[in-house]
Amino acid sequence: MPTRTARTAWDGGIQDGSGEVELSSSGLGTFDMSFPKRSA
């Protein structure tokens, strides 16, 4: 089974913060995240 790796970073509070998700092993890239994006 292949090993998958990812990285997340979050700054601020749950509702007013923002961050990013990096999907390293799949090569899909880095995506910005925020509360509205998470709850959509």
Task: Please tell me the distance from the alpha carbon of residue 30 to that of residue 22, in angstroms, as a whole number.
Answer: 4
Residue 22 corresponds to which tokens in the numbers above? 């990096």
Please give the model's pTM, rounded to 2 decimal places. 0.60
Res. 39 pLDDT band, cuts 50 70 90: low
Task: Please tell me the distance from the alpha carbon of residue 35 to that of residue 25, in angstroms, as a whole number.
Answer: 25
Q: Which tens digits make up the pLDDT trace of 9-31?
A: 999 998 889 999 999 888 888 99
Q: What pLDDT is stored for residue 16 in this prediction?
A: 87
pLDDT at residue 36 is higher than 80: no
Q: What pLDDT is stored for residue 10 in this prediction?
A: 94
Mean pLDDT throughout 32-39? 75
